[in-house]
Amino acid sequence: MKKTKVVLMGDSIRLMGYGSAVPALLGDAYEVWQPETNGKFVSNVLRDLFDMADRIDEADIVHFNSGEWDICELFGDGPFTPLEFYVSQILRIVDILQAKGKTVIFATTTPVRAENVHNHNGVIEQFNAAVVPPLKGKGVLINDLYAVVAEDVYENVCDDTIHLSPVGIERCAASTAAAIRRAAEEKEAK
């Protein structure tokens, strides 16, 4: 039986978080590859498409996230990445992946604890709200990790106020595995 090949890309929410648990949840019917590096900003994720082209070309499904670095405000003058640029780069990533015939899943940016001084949930919500409708219009499947974590931010986010706790990892990995299974089933039904 042919395995469904999956690539997971994204920032530290994937690297230190849900990406660690997804392969075991998916089991033997799936072959999961992900880089050992942090994708950080959306521009980095876009750049990674070039470096990871061989892995992406082999994949059936690409699941990615990006946002925590982009919405970060260190200097009091707004997010590192302007909203319009963020949306345009996410859509550019999707266009490249879809041109390669990939099923694409985008994971929304997760909320942070209220005491996080550099990332703010209102900005995260704004970025998620701006990017999801055009993604859906392109047929991208949405893995709403924001909603998963928002159910109990203090249980799902660790004491560093941004990264997933063990419980948050488990919940986000379950949501990600379910989204990948749905995508694989839809692809097979076509």
Local confidence band at 59 (pLDDT 50, 70, 90 cut-offs):
very high
Tell me the CA distances in angstroms from 111 to 73, 91, 182, one per residue in order.
15, 22, 24
User: Shortest CA distance to 172 belongs to which of 2, 54, 28, 10?
Assistant: 10
38 in Cβ contact with 118 (< 8 Å): no
For the chain, what is the mean pLDDT?
A: 97
Q: What is the model's pLDDT at position 187?
A: 84
Q: Which residues pair with 103 in a beta bridge?
A: 61
Question: From CA 127, how far away is CA 78, in angstroms rounded?
Answer: 13
pLDDT of 178 above 80? yes
Does pTM top 0.75 for this prediction? Answer: yes
Q: Mind listing the domains of the chain with CATH numbers? A: 4-189 (3.40.50.1110)
Q: Is the pLDDT of residue 86 over 90?
A: yes
